[in-house]
Amino acid sequence: MPNRHSLFWRLVVLVAGFCLAMIWASGYVSRQIDRSTSYLSPEALEVLAGYAEQAEAALEQGPEALARWRETVEARESSWLVIVDAKLQPLGGQQLSDEARQQLMFVRHYAWPMSRRFQGLPLISIPMQEARAQLIMRLPERFRPWRNHALLTAGAVYLAPVLLSVLFCGILYRLLVSPLEALRRQANAVRGNRLDSLLPATIAHRSDELGELGRSLEYLTRRLRDTIAQQQQLLRDLSHELRTPLSRLRVACETPLSAEEMRQRTDREVVGMQQLVDSTLEFAWLDSEQPRFECEPVEVAALWDVLCENACFEAGWPRERIRALVPEDCRVLGNLNALAQAMENILRNAIRYSPAQGQVCLTAHREARHWRLSIGDEGPGVPSDQLGVIFHPFARLSAARPGGDGFGLGLAIARSMVLMQGGEIWAENGAPGLRMNIRLRNV
């Protein structure tokens, strides 16, 4: 069932309104045509009123004058007429048959509308001003109403729907085609690599399907623009990072070093470049593919013990300098490998920037349906306005956090790993040091 903001309801209202408007307009115009064409024209009314005056004058002159006038008018109009009193009795010596007397019961006042249901020409009555009599005559053919009724009715039947159809198409164009045209221009802009072209606000603020389509297209445009910009920046940073070890190797080749020293230098630089390339490819894969890891219950305390053993072995730290304050029931819903890599990168980063005799501590706090894991060190921390920058690739704030020779990809990879598990990650300054927070769902 479409929701209340769906375009379906707008189309229902538009089509229903169009049909109702067409029915009303056709009926209204037809009634107006019937009304206007059922009355005699002003010219006919004037001529018929003149006949009544002439009849009244002839009646005053006597039966012979009235008979001559009747013959003259009947010949002129090819019509039958009679002058009657208030009781429909003929005056001036005219005799009426029984059939003619019955027809006098269906006489209409000449100023009234004429019925279309009457076959032939109707009998009309024209009152005389002075005498209490009236002229009754069959309406002359030249005064017949409804002459243009068929033409006017055809115009009402066809013209009104045509005009309403034009209005309907205009509204439909504004409702559907115009937004689709804007979406087409947006798609053509993306195809032409004009990624700075954004969707008009009139479409982005719509709450129907076209608005959702527009926002999706705008998101894809922004996503593509950001991805291309990030890849370009990544290539620039990678090129810069690779130049440094290559320069050191070139200097080493030009320096008179022993074979063993040259082998050690070469091995160290090759290992560093391999780690850089591997980390860069991993980050690029996470950013472009955005995989969704399958989540399962993970024992945080057990995972932390394994990570600490490996980190202490690699860094030469004593195990007692890495502590954990984790409840026994701390189990999160996450991907074991992804969470292990994220926490390992954070742990190595904390060890790298910790001062002599510093400590690293993992704490876990329950927050409703989530667990908040915090890994804190005792280093100098980072400026508050740079807390979000440290998650960018190749971001190294060595001036604020001295010590270490990383590439600035560890936290960027950790952030991507956590987000792919449906979690959150952020940094905050502690007292002292830096605290990295990870929020994951509770099992």
Give residue-wise pLDDT tens across range 251-308: 778 777 777 878 877 887 787 777 777 767 776 666 666 667 788 999 999 999 999 9
Mean local confidence (pLDDT), 68-86: 86
Instruction: Tell whether the model's pLDDT for residue 409 goes beyond 60.
Output: yes
Give residue-wise pLDDT tens across range 192-240: 676 666 667 667 677 777 777 777 777 777 777 777 777 776 676 667 6
Instruction: Tell whether the model's pLDDT for residue 401 goes beyond 50.
Output: no
pLDDT of res. 362: 93
Mean pLDDT lowest for which of 82-86, 88-92, 186-190? 186-190
What is the residue extent of each domain of the chain?
Answer: 40-144, 209-289, 296-441
Is 332 in a helix, a strand, or coil?
A: strand
Instruction: Tell whether the model's pLDDT for residue 402 goes beyond 70.
Output: no
Return d(Cα 25, Cα 20) in angstroms, integer.
Answer: 8
Q: What is the DSSP string of 91-112?
A: -TT----HHHHHHGGG-EETTS
pLDDT of res. 396: 58
The bridge status of strand 360-367 relative to strand 322-325 is: parallel
Sign of CA dihedral 247, 251, 257, 258: positive
Amino acid (one-letter) located at 405:
D
252, 266 Cβ separation under 8 angstroms: yes
pLDDT over 70, % of the chain: 84
pLDDT of res. 195: 67
Q: Is the pTM of this model over 0.75?
A: no
Give residue-wise pLDDT tens across range 23-48: 887 778 777 777 777 778 888 888 88
| Residues across the chain | 443
Q: How far apart are the first and last CA of the chain?
A: 34
48, 112 Cβ separation under 8 angstroms: no
Tokens of 166: 């034009």
Question: How distant is the alpha carbon of residue 433 from its chain centre?
Answer: 48
Mean local confidence (pLDDT), 244-248: 75
Return d(Cα 25, Cα 4) in angstroms, integer.
Answer: 30
CATH of 296-441, one of 3.30.565.10, 2.160.10.10, 3.40.50.300, 3.40.640.10: 3.30.565.10
Nearest 5°: the CA angle 390, 391, 397 is 20
Tokens of 270: 């090759």
Give residue-wise pLDDT tens across range 386-400: 888 888 877 655 444
List all residues 6 or more positions away from 322 whose beta carbon is below 8 Å from its beta carbon. Answer: 308, 311, 312, 347, 359, 360, 361, 362
pLDDT of res. 152: 67
pLDDT of res. 357: 82
Mean local confidence (pLDDT), 419-426: 90
Tell me which residue of 275, 329, 321, 281 sits closest to 302, measured CA to CA: 329
Residue 70: band (very low, low, confident or very high) from pLDDT cuts 50, 70, 90: confident
Give residue-wise pLDDT tens across range 109-161: 888 887 766 667 888 888 887 667 888 888 888 887 766 666 666 766 677 77
Domain 40-144: give its CATH code.
3.30.450.170
Classify each residue of 384-421 as buried b or exposed e, where b means 16 or more C-beta atoms within 10 Å of its C-beta.
eeeeeebbbbbbebeeebeeeebbbbbbbbbbbbbebb
pLDDT of res. 293: 74
pLDDT of res. 184: 79
Give residue-wise pLDDT tens across range 356-383: 888 999 999 999 899 999 999 988 888 8
